[in-house]
Amino acid sequence: GMELIETTISEHIRNQGKREGKLEGRIEGKIEGISEQIAILESLHKQGILSKKKKEQMLIPLRQKLDELCEQMPKAA
């Protein structure tokens, strides 16, 4: 009876959440990857391997990509 309907509804909500979660997960994964790249550049700069100018040049596209990804994140209501 009712339990079956409730189960079906919660399944549907879970599946929808999974789909949105997958997209969100992919975006979060990319953001994490870029954050790691930024951290590596910062680290190389601190070690004196990368000049400040070179580091800044390399950070520009990463920061742009980061902004784009953040805009793609599903906004929490």
Q: Are 39 and 59 in contact (CB under 8 A)?
A: no
23 located within any domain: yes
The percent of residues in the chain predicted with pLDDT above 90, rounded, is 58
Is residue 42 in some structural domain?
yes
Q: What's the CA gap between 23 and 19, in Å, rounded?
A: 7
Output the pLDDT for position 76.
61
Q: Is residue 45 part of a domain?
A: yes
SS3 content of the chain, % helix, strand, coil (to 5): 85, 0, 15
* Predicted structure pTM score: 0.71
Which domain range does residue 29 map to? Answer: 2-70
If one counts the domains in the chain, the total is: 1
What tens digit of pLDDT does each residue of 32-49 get?
Answer: 999 999 999 999 999 999
State the average pLDDT for the chain. Answer: 89
Judged against a pLDDT cut of 70, whether residue 77 lies above it is answered with no
